[in-house]
């Protein structure tokens, strides 16, 4: 069993985190973080797990984490009033943090709207942001992420909704996953300084996957249409162009596949 103080402390102590917990096995780091937030955890508190048995993704999907093979963590943030008006951006905050960390490894990653990170066109990570509301007020956000580090962390083909890969598979060599965690968190905390500014949306669009490409887009009502990805808008919606030339600003939905045509 991993000794969190001995192994994780050198990676996390230099970061401006307010507190952190490590769990050898957890059902969901988001569940633990939400409970901790409700109990008064401070802004910038972190939950990390080596193995996650019931992690959640969008739409009640499950994200399992094998021991030693992936990153599973959740960061508790207490938004300022200005940040609370930009809640959809917190998903991109985590995704862009990973993009920045992978860039340091020479791996160009992109953000597949709204909450996935792609390497070479394949999913390497997913983000799930959940809110704690108290008395109609936003008390805290929990920003959770799961990253496929080793090949063994990739789900079986019959469990995939989109082609997947791992960081080590793309890198071609073993990786210190705790060093990757440190770099992701460092970038997230740095990007938070510009979260409410136009520069953040510019950064999101700079790394937006499939921008200018035609894709199969599943709308919130379940209908699937061929659309062109244009850009992310300041409120986090995805601007799309229909085959008829109309513009659609999607608040929810999912890119299911790319047509590889302009």
Residues 116 and 219 reside in one and the same domain? no
pLDDT digits (tens, 9 = 90+) for 177-188: 999 999 999 999
Residues 148 and 225 reside in one and the same domain? no
Q: How sure is the predictor about 192, in pLDDT bands with cuts at 50, 70 and 90?
A: very high
Residues 123 and 229 reside in one and the same domain? no
Residues 63 and 112 reside in one and the same domain? yes
- From 156, 151, 140, select the one nearest 62 (Cα to Cα): 156
Q: List the structure tokens of 181.
A: 């965690």
**Helix intervals (H) in 69-193:** 81-84, 89-103, 167-171, 177-191
Q: Average model confidence (pLDDT) for the chain?
A: 91
pLDDT digits (tens, 9 = 90+) for 63-119: 566 778 999 999 999 999 999 999 999 999 999 999 999 999 999 999 999 999 999
Number of domains composing the chain? 2
Residues 158-187: what's their mean pLDDT? 92
Q: How sure is the predictor about 259, in pLDDT bands with cuts at 50, 70 and 90?
A: confident
pTM of the full predicted structure? 0.93
Judged against a pLDDT cut of 70, whether residue 60 lies above it is answered with no
Residues 104 and 28 reside in one and the same domain? yes
CA distance 236 to 137: 21
Residues 55-69: what's their mean pLDDT? 64
| Predicted local distance difference test score (pLDDT) of residue 62 | 58
| Predicted local distance difference test score (pLDDT) of residue 157 | 66
High-pLDDT (> 70) share of the chain, %: 90
Residue 114 · residue 91 · CB < 8 Å:
yes
CA distance 240 to 217: 9
Residues 38 and 88 reside in one and the same domain? yes
CA distance 101 to 207: 13
Q: Which of 186, 206, 226 is the last residue of a domain?
A: 206
Residue 143 · residue 72 · CB < 8 Å:
no
- Domain of 230, in residue numbers: 214-258
- Top pLDDT among 131 and 257 is at 131
Q: Which helix H or strand E contains 182, and what residues bound it?
A: helix 177-191
- Top pLDDT among 155 and 89 is at 89
Judged against a pLDDT cut of 90, whether residue 10 lies above it is answered with yes
| Predicted local distance difference test score (pLDDT) of residue 136 | 82
Residues 69 and 124 reside in one and the same domain? yes
Residue 230 belongs to domain with CATH number:
2.30.30
Residues 162-169: what's their mean pLDDT? 92
């Amino acid at each position: 069993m991993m000794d969190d103080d001995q192994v994780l402390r050198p990676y996390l102590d230099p970061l401006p985190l307010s507190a952190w917990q490590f769990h050898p096995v957890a059902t969901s780091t988001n569940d633990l973080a939400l409970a901790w937030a409700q109990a008064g955890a401070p802004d910038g508190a972190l939950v990390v797990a080596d193995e996650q048995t019931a992690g959640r993704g969008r739409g009640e999907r499950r994200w399992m984490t094998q021991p030693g093979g992936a990153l599973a963590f959740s960061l508790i943030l207490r938004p300022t009033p200005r940040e609370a008006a930009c809640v959809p951006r917190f998903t991109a905050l985590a995704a862009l943090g990973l993009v920045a960390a992978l860039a340091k490894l020479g791996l160009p990653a992109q953000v597949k709207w709204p909450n996935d990170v792609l390497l070479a066109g394949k999913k390497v990570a997913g983000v799930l942001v959940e809110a704690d509301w108290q008395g109609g007020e936003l008390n805290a956000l929990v920003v959770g992420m799961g990253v496929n580090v080793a090949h063994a962390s990739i789900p079986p083909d019959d469990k995939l909704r989109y082609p997947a890969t791992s960081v080590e598979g793309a890198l071609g060599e073993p990786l210190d996953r705790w060093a990757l965690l440190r770099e992701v968190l460092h970038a997230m905390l740095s990007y938070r300084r510009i979260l409410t500014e136009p520069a953040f949306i510019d950064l999101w669009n700079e790394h937006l996957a499939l921008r200018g490409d035609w894709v199969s887009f599943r709308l919130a009502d379940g209908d699937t249409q061929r659309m062109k990805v244009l850009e992310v808008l300041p409120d986090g919606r995805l601007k799309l162009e229909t085959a008829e030339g109309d513009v659609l600003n999607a608040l929810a939905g999912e890119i299911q596949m790319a047509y590889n045509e302009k």
